[in-house]
Amino acid sequence: MSGLIALAVLIPFVVFLIWVSGLLTRRMQPGNWKTLLRVVIVIGVFPLMVVDEIIGKYQFEALCKANGIETIDQSLIKGKRVQIHTDYFLWKSLPGKIIPMRVTTARIKDADTGQELASFKSYSTCGGWLMRLTPLSAGNCSPMLFYGGGCHWFYLDVLSRNNAVWVNN
């Protein structure tokens, strides 16, 4: 089904690009150069559909790496049963990003005592314009080219290095 939705989005876009390339080359004499230029226009403009997600992917990863860990005492985490708490209702939008991104704080707490052991910035995004404005996302607010649901790999890495056991909330 998602393949049919992708075709329903991509085919009209390619037809639109062919039409635009025809407009841009209409005053040229018929021949190989005109055909070649039209092909170059279509192939050159086609990636613009996802260029915002490509740039957004690098912005998202840079945010996770640079701002992921806020506080951590790894000696407290060693061998503990932990829970991860995220303030989902306290998301703040991040200005100046090519795709909409938001941030909140995630906390790792001891499952038995409730003591906070670490805190992280958790980022989230819904992807580029293609995923937000077309039915291609099928109602799943997620980027097409990368996982934008958070910086989970930060705290999963910390937990695994310290033999902590993740307990569902």
Domain layout of the chain by residue ranges = 1-49, 51-169
Strand 165-166 with 81-86, pairing: parallel
Most confident of 7-11, 58-62, 77-81, 152-156: 58-62
- Of the candidates 155, 150, 152, which has an alpha carbon nearest to the alpha carbon of residue 72? 155
Question: Cα angle vertex 57, ends 56, 63, to 5°?
Answer: 85
Structure confidence at residue 159 (pLDDT): 67
Q: Is the pLDDT of residue 169 over 60?
A: no
Tens-digit pLDDT profile for residues 95-109: 888 888 888 888 888
Q: How many residues does the chain have?
A: 169
Tens-digit pLDDT profile for residues 117-148: 777 888 888 777 777 777 666 666 777 777 77
Lowest mean pLDDT among 23-27, 65-69, 161-165: 161-165
Compute the distance between CA of residue 88 and CA of residue 168 in angstroms, rounded to an integer.
16
Computed over every residue of the chain, the mean pLDDT equals: 77
